[in-house]
Structure 1
Amino acid sequence: MDNHTPGPWHTCRAHTSDAVGITHDIGAALIADAYGEQRHANAALITTAPDGLALANLVVEYFGEDEIPASLDSDIALRDAARALIAKAEADAA
């Protein structure tokens, strides 16, 4: 998926004092603003999105398409969670 602004993303000053900005590079155009009481925590979480998506892709690549034995339920859960994250990112980008 290459439809998003590449990481790393950082928090920055927003255009208003009641928001925290998210940018892909210091001084670059804003990707988004986070508002509300938890704006700092939300902005910090949003900045991890490119890393999380990259990690999910690595997990899926690691497990490949081979069937995972049912006894390795943690591996199955990890692979399935990674696939779900990728699917959500791709669906929301459409």
Structure 2
Amino acid sequence: MIPAQFRKLIAELEHLTDSQTRYVEKLLKGTDSVSQLITELEERMVENPECPHCHSSLINRHGKVNQMQRYRCKNCGKTFVATTATPLARLRY
């Protein structure tokens, strides 16, 4: 986002009603515990990147799928997301 637009957005946030403020907070935090958990798993991938298949730390970002960052391992060539090899793998709504 362009910095000038961001400053304008922040200035507009001050004029929201209480219900609008709660709605914006809900959108920013995520609406359910699953999205919060996925966010925490993605943060873990940033802090300690590791391929769940070969445990190599040589990974690259490889696009996005369903709003989640996808990764590709340079060592084994397999792709994965932060939830791969966790109980949340292949979880559907």
TM-score class, shorter: under 0.3
In terms of fraction of residues, the more helix-rich structure is 1
Higher relative contact order (CA 8 A, sep 6+): 1
Question: TM-score w.r.t. structure 2 length?
Answer: 0.25
Q: Which has the larger radius of gyration?
A: 2
